[in-house]
């Protein structure tokens, strides 16, 4: 099966340099980290801003839900955007849409205005996420893809680890101004777009079939193959969306909120990296069900802690639950992407990158919106109980032995003829 790259590029698997130093990877990881830094600063703070402005929990959840909705819309359009603009301009556009609206938050705390800004940021975020996932699959050969996805995951999770806990604390201590100014940091990724584009243009060579035409995709088989990993991803990212949006409302003490978010983001960052080697050695599928069930247990602990209130026991359950959910959240982000690439095959890299990112961000937005609606109608403990139940049910579905299309060996999806195999519009 052809992956659309030159033989010397494929040969880097033997005695190859670290995935961190593969051509194009430093710039790609740097632009990813800068983009997610902007998101990490505003994910907990934008909802907090509208709560302070008089909105309820549903309004606060809507901010991040709309951002994720626009992220998904942008992700579905990235292929056409790449064909029209090329990698360089597309990456620049994503960085500008994500970073430029951040300082405008200084002007308003109105829920509709903040939601409109979130919509623009979501369009930029959608571009950054799909380009990142597609780029990693091109720049590093399949034999080391787990480690490459781990490096990419760490570039995503490290800003969350450093900034998600700090952002609400900084907003409480120094005001919203510094947070909104710092959240423009994705603009610094603009100069990194040209080296990423050059590397992708060098390695992402379309493969030609016998008659020089692209093969026909088996879309039904592709859809069946991706159902399992995307369902697992939706479950855990829904939990993550609720955690990132509403943790500042679970305890009145900013230090407790800081520690809880620090534990969650730190654990998820470590696990996104650590599970990469596991996936390369043993495959991704075996660990998915256990991590889903672990995540459900952690969500239940958070809910019980929220019900117990801001005492010693409640805070211990909150932080312990954050630790457990962080393991599942980080590990599953790596494993579901690696598994999706494996079952779909190399020809479907662009489709997998888009589907995975849509699942990630749809889950994040759905979790924020659903948890906000349940919390507004009932309470935070009920919201976390619902999230725990859904995550557990998906975990049980994975654990039940059955013949599942998505669990078959890599290379399952075939095309008639040869696939074009490359990402759309590889030109600069």
pTM for this entry = 0.71
d(CA 385, CA 397): 18
Per DSSP bridges, beta strands 415-416 and 216-217 are: antiparallel
pLDDT at 250: 82
- What phi and psi, each to the nearest 5 degrees, are found at residue 54? 110, 0
pLDDT at 215: 46
d(CA 147, CA 15): 15
Q: Which two tokens stand for residue 223?
A: 């859809």
For the segment 322-331, the average pLDDT, to the nearest whole number, is 94
pLDDT at 346: 64
- Looking at the chain, the whole-number percentage of residues with pLDDT higher than 90 is 30
For the segment 366-382, the average pLDDT, to the nearest whole number, is 86
Mean predicted lDDT score pLDDT of the chain: 80
In the predicted structure, residue 324 carries a pLDDT above the cut 90: yes
Q: What is the DSSP string of 156-202?
A: HHHHHHHHTTHHHHHHHHH-HHHHHHHTTGGGGGGGGHHHHHHHHHH
pLDDT at 16: 58
Name the percent of the chain in helix, strand, coil, to the closest 5: 80, 0, 20
For the segment 2-6, the average pLDDT, to the nearest whole number, is 36
H helix intervals, 53-165: 57-99, 111-139, 145-163
pLDDT at 211: 35
Q: Does 422 or 372 have the greater pLDDT score?
A: 372
Closest CA to 5 of 205, 180, 251: 205
Closest CA to 67 of 90, 91, 45: 45
For the segment 360-382, the average pLDDT, to the nearest whole number, is 85
Instruction: Enter the CATH code of domain 23-416.
Output: 1.20.1250.20
In the predicted structure, residue 411 carries a pLDDT above the cut 50: no
Q: Does 218 or 366 have the greater pLDDT score?
A: 366
pLDDT at 194: 92
Q: Supply the angle between the helices 219-246 and 57-99 in degrees, to the nearest 10.
A: 110
pLDDT at 424: 38
d(CA 124, CA 105): 16
CB 77 within 8 A of CB 128: no
Task: Tell me the per-residue pLDDT of 39-51, one tens digit each, with 9 for 90 and over.
Answer: 999 988 998 888 8
pLDDT at 62: 86
pLDDT at 125: 93
Identify the weakest region by mean pLDDT among 14-23, 114-123, 260-269.
14-23
Identify the weakest region by mean pLDDT among 28-42, 66-80, 407-421.
407-421
Residues 6+ apart with CB under 8 A from 99: 38, 124, 183, 184, 185, 186, 187, 188, 189
Residues 6+ apart with CB under 8 A from 98: 35, 38, 39, 121, 124, 125, 127, 128, 186
H helix intervals, 345-411: 349-377, 380-399
For the segment 347-369, the average pLDDT, to the nearest whole number, is 80
Task: Tell me the per-residue pLDDT of 66-106, one tens digit each, with 9 for 90 and over.
Answer: 998 898 899 888 888 888 988 899 999 999 999 999 999 99
For the segment 296-316, the average pLDDT, to the nearest whole number, is 89
d(CA 98, CA 12): 34
- What phi and psi, each to the nearest 5 degrees, are found at residue 203? -100, -20
**What band does 405 get if pLDDT is binned at 50, 70 and 90?**
very low
pLDDT at 322: 94
For the segment 384-412, the average pLDDT, to the nearest whole number, is 72
For the segment 120-128, the average pLDDT, to the nearest whole number, is 94
Task: Tell me the per-residue pLDDT of 159-207, one tens digit each, with 9 for 90 and over.
Answer: 878 888 889 888 888 899 999 999 999 999 999 999 988 888 776 544 3
**What band does 37 get if pLDDT is binned at 50, 70 and 90?**
very high
DSSP state of 152: H
pLDDT at 248: 78
Please state the length of the chain. 428
pLDDT at 217: 54
In the predicted structure, residue 210 carries a pLDDT above the cut 70: no
CB 359 within 8 A of CB 238: no
In the predicted structure, residue 309 carries a pLDDT above the cut 50: yes
Structural domain spans, the chain: 23-416
Closest CA to 291 of 365, 236, 364: 236
């Amino acid at each position: 099966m052809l992956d659309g790259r030159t033989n010397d590029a494929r040969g880097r698997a033997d005695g190859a340099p670290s995935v961190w130093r593969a051509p194009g990877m430093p710039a790609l990881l740097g632009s990813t980290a800068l983009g997610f830094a902007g998101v990490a600063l505003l994910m907990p703070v934008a909802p907090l801003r509208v709560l302070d402005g008089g909105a309820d929990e549903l309004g606060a959840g809507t901010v991040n839900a709309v951002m994720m909705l626009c992220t998904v819309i942008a992700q579905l359009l990235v292929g056409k955007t790449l064909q029209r603009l090329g990698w360089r301009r597309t990456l620049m556009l994503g960085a500008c849409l994500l970073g430029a609206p951040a300082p405008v938050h200084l002007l308003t705390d109105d829920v509709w205005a903040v939601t409109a800004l979130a919509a623009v940021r979501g369009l930029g975020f959608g571009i950054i996420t799909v380009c990142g996932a597609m780029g990693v699959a091109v720049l590093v050969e399949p034999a080391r893809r787990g480690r490459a996805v781990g490096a990419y995951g760490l570039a995503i999770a490290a800003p969350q680890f450093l900034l998600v806990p700090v952002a609400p604390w900084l907003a409480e201590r120094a005001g919203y101004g510094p947070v909104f100014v710092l959240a423009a940091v994705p603009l610094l990724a603009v100069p990194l777009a040209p080296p990423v584009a050059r590397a992708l243009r060098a390695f992402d060579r379309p493969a030609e079939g016998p008659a020089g035409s692209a093969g026909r995709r088996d879309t039904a088989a592709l859809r069946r193959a991706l159902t399992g990993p995307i369902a697992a991803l939706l479950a855990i990212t829904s939990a993550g969306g609720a955690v990132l949006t509403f943790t500042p409302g679970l305890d009145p003490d900013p230090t407790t909120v800081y520690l809880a978010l620090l534990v969650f983001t730190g654990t998820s960052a470590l696990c996104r990296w650590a599970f990469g080697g596991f996936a390369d050695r043993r495959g991704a599928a075996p660990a998915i069900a256990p991590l889903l069930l672990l995540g459900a247990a952690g969500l239940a602990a958070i809910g019980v802690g929220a019900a117990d209130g801001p005492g010693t026991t409640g805070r211990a359950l909150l932080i312990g639950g954050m630790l457990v959910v962080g393991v599942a959240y980080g590990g599953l982000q790596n494993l579901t992407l690696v598994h999706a690439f494996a079952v779909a095959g190399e020809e479907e890299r662009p489709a997998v990158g888009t589907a995975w990112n849509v699942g990630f961000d749809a889950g994040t937005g759905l979790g924020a919106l659903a948890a906000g609606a349940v919390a507004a109608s009932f309470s935070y403990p009920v919201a976390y109980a619902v999230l725990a139940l859904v995550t557990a049910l998906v975990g049980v579905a994975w654990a039940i032995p059955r013949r599942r299309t998505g669990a078959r060996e890599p290379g399952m999806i075939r095309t008639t003829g040869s696939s074009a195999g490359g990402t759309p519009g590889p030109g600069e």
